[in-house]
A and B are shown apart, each in its own frame.
Chain A
Amino acid sequence: MISINNIAKGFSEKPVIEGVSAEFETGKCNLIIGASGSGKTVLMKCLVGLITPDAGEIIYDGENFSRMNEDAKKIMRRKIGMLFQGSALFDSKTVEQNIMFPLDMFSNDTRAEKQKRVDMVLDRVNLTDAHKKFPAEISGGMKKRVGIARSIVLNPQYLFCDEPNSGLDPQTSLVIDKLIREITTEYNITTVIYTHDMNSVMEIGDRILYMYQGKKEWEGNSKEIIFSKNEKLNSFIFASEFLQDAKDMRMLEVSGKIDENRNMDKLLKG
């Protein structure tokens, strides 16, 4: 579990994050949602120590990350995996070398053991024919998968994903979401996902935190979000008329007025 207490961060007097507190549970997909520019990436970089917050505490399973010195932070980071918005693969290395890199740097395994691990994680993300390709030669969805494979290769306890769906088509998005969720439960990882993707929210939102202009505006899960009366949240999540209708439908479904097969004959007949 990761707890954050009153995190604040500003850039040259302009506040970006203002006093955010939250808890992220182990084995769950914890979502942070919010419009572009609402400070999601900044919050995430604070959490992993790429940016030092101006105030507040970050506690990883009882260990106070904010009070650690640089060396302790470096060791802590080895328990953290991260998927970047643009995948951040090393362009000069092949897919296989990208994933091998953390192993080469930090593990004392033999060459064969490392190779086995690389094959295993690539297999896990369903990439079996891209080992020797360079990042420039593969599609956006494949890059994300390689990014996921690289972030889990050292068996992290914590996984951060910054907009795992940005730039992907809806179908590929779902595949990536599903993959992240499976990995989270399979390895009991504390996963924190930053997104503004509606589908992810409904599909994998075990816990959802809604950020609005640097503040926590709403907190709950994907069931509660449908019934939420928070106007800012509603207009953000259910932005289009189509989604509003979908929300109404889901409400009816959840409250038992429509059965799970979406059999609406009764309703339509009046």
Chain B
Amino acid sequence: MKIFTSFGEFILMLKGMFTKPENWRMYWKELMHQCVELGIGSLGIVSIVAVFIGAVSTLQTSYQFISPIIPRSVIAQIVRDTVILEFAPTITCVVLAGVVGSKISSELGNMRVSEQIDALEIMGINTKAYLILPKITAALITIPMLVVLAMVLGIWGGRFVGEVTGILPTEIFDRGLLEAFVPYNVKFALVKAYTFALIITAIPAYFGYNVKGGALEIGRASTTAVVSSCIIILLADYVLATILL
């Protein structure tokens, strides 16, 4: 029962974000600020995760790959496709759900508990619009870019490891990379990226914005926010794969 009430509140919150900004320039400034916070702020972790995932993909694919009939360049194809289809969008976003999600929910929770949100409301500012919308928009702008970066770095990681371990020389890897490439996969990955970007900002924003109580509740809200966004990402991942593939 409670989940339906929460869902209703969540939808109302999203609806409440769309009003005419009190001052466009300030909203723009806030949006830029959030792009830096969420986008640039996550560059490091996203890059590290992507390179390692790509590297491990090459190692494991080659380990499972024992048939001498199939050319080894197929390893590159498999690495490319798994990275593009699943690893770059999904794993990146699950990691970002932790990084970005906890940040958003604890920031808003703290603002709620210390009455900063009330202070903004008193000034006549729509806090849903001013505090939440720029975060979601910033995520919709930066996260797909991070996902594309993760694709490139993931494949590079796989290629690099293939070379240094001698599993797959770069000439063969590069040849495989260009074989049977389906551009639709990139489009599919981007659809996922946009969906996940929405999930990992809107859900933590909801939990943070509605915190009641004190410091303990802020921590609790951020845990709930991260756990539920991760689960919803995986659900959405499944649903999108069913619909779009």
Min CB distance A171 to B, Å, is 25
Contact A77 B123 (CB under 8 A): yes
Stretch of A82-90, A112-120, A197-205, A231-239 with 4 or more beta carbons under 8 angstroms from chain B: A82-90
Q: Which of A48, A76, A88, A154 contacts B114 (CB 8 A)?
A: A88
Segment from A1-9, A99-107, A183-191, A241-249 that makes contact with B: A99-107
Given A74-B124, A75-B124, A104-B26; A82-B110 close (CB under 8 Å): no
Indicate which residue in A50, A91, A106 contacts B23 across the interface (CB closer than 8 Å). Answer: A106
> When A88-B114, A91-B110 are in contact, do A82 and B119 touch as well, CB less than 8 Å?
yes
Query: Does B125 reach chain A (CB closer than 8 Å)?
Result: yes
Contact (Cβ within 8 A) A105 B115: no
CB contact between B118 and one of A76, A88, A89, A105 (< 8 Å): that residue:
A88
The residues of B that contact A111 with a CB separation of less than 8 Å are none
Residues on B with beta carbons closer than 8 Å to the beta carbon of A86: 114-115
Q: Given A74-B124, A77-B123, A78-B123, do A85 and B23 touch, yes or no (CB 8 Å)? A: no
Knowing A104-B26, A105-B23, A105-B26, the reply to whether A85 touches B115 (Cβ < 8 A) is yes
Q: Which residues of A contact B119 (CB under 8 A)?
A: 82, 84, 88, 90
Q: Are B123 and A50 interface neighbours, CB within 8 A?
A: no
Interface size on A, residues (CB 8 A): 24
Contact pattern, B 98-140, Cβ under 8 Å of A = 1, otherwise 0: 0000000000001000111011011111100000000000000
CB < 8 Å: which of A82, A90, A104, A105 contacts B122?
A: A82
When distances are taken between beta carbons in the complex, the residues of chain A under 8 Å from B126 are 74
B123–A84 touching, CB < 8 Å? no
**Across-interface contacts of A209 in B (CB, < 8 A):** none
Q: Is A80 close to B, CB under 8 A?
A: yes
Residues of A within 8 A of B179 (CB): none
A104-135 vs B, Cβ < 8 Å mask (1 yes, 0 no): 11100000000000000000000000000000
Chain A: CB-nearest residue to B113: A86
Give how many A-B residue pairs fall within 8 Å (CB-CB): 52
For chain B, give the interface size range.
Answer: 10 to 19
Complex alpha-carbon distance, A64 and B216, angstroms: 39
Q: Tell me whether B174 is interfacial, beta carbon within 8 Å.
A: no
Q: Which of B25, B114, B116, B124 contacts A78 (CB 8 A)?
A: B124
Nearest CB in chain B to that of A79: its residue: B124
Chain B nearest CB from A217 CB (Å) reads 27
A22 to chain B, nearest CB (A): 20
Label chain A's interface by main secondary structure. Answer: mixed
Instruction: Report how far A45 CA is from B23 CA in the complex, Å.
Output: 25
Is B22 close to A, CB under 8 A? yes
Chain B residues positioned under 8 Å from A102 (CB to CB):
123
Given contacts A75-B124, A91-B110, A105-B125, contact A84 B115 (CB under 8 A): yes
Distance to closest chain A CB from B43 (angstroms): 21
Chain A residues near B122: list those with CB within 8 A: 48, 50, 77, 80-82
Q: Select from chain A the residue with minimum beta-carbon distance to B122.
A: A82
Contact status B121-A50, CB under 8 Å: yes
Q: Which B residues from 158 to 192 make CB contacts under 8 A with A?
A: none
**How near does chain B come to A14, taking the closest CB pair, in angstroms?**
15
Return chain B residues, CB-CB under 8 Å to A80: 122
Q: Would you give the shortest CB distance from A77 to chain B, in whole angstroms?
A: 4
Chain A residue at minimal CB-CB distance from B21: A105
**In the complex, are the beta carbons of B123 and A90 less than 8 A apart?**
no
Which chain A residue lies CB-closest to B123?
Answer: A102
CB distance from A166 to the nearest CB of B (A): 13
Q: Which residue of A lies closest to B118 (CB)?
A: A50
CB-contacts of B13-38 with A (<8 A): 22-23, 25-26
Enumerate A50-100 residues with CB–CB distance to B below 8 Å. 50, 74-78, 80-82, 84-86, 88-91
Which residues on A sit within 8 Å (CB–CB) of B118?
A: 45, 50, 84, 88
User: Residues of A with Cβ closer than 8 Å to B?
Assistant: 45, 48, 50, 74-78, 80-82, 84-86, 88-91, 101-102, 104-106, 154
Interface, chain B (partner A; CB < 8 A)? 22-23, 25-26, 110, 114-116, 118-119, 121-126
Q: List 13 A-B contacts (CB under 8 A).
A: A50-B122, A75-B124, A78-B123, A84-B115, A84-B118, A86-B114, A88-B118, A90-B119, A91-B114, A91-B116, A101-B123, A105-B22, A106-B22
Task: With A50-B121, A81-B122, A85-B115 given, name 18 new contacts (CB 8 A).
Answer: A45-B118, A48-B122, A74-B22, A77-B123, A78-B124, A82-B119, A84-B118, A86-B114, A88-B116, A91-B114, A101-B123, A102-B123, A104-B23, A104-B26, A105-B22, A106-B23, A106-B123, A106-B124
- Which 10 A/B pairs are nearest by Cβ-Cβ distance? A88-B115, A77-B124, A88-B119, A74-B124, A84-B115, A82-B122, A78-B124, A105-B23, A88-B116, A102-B123
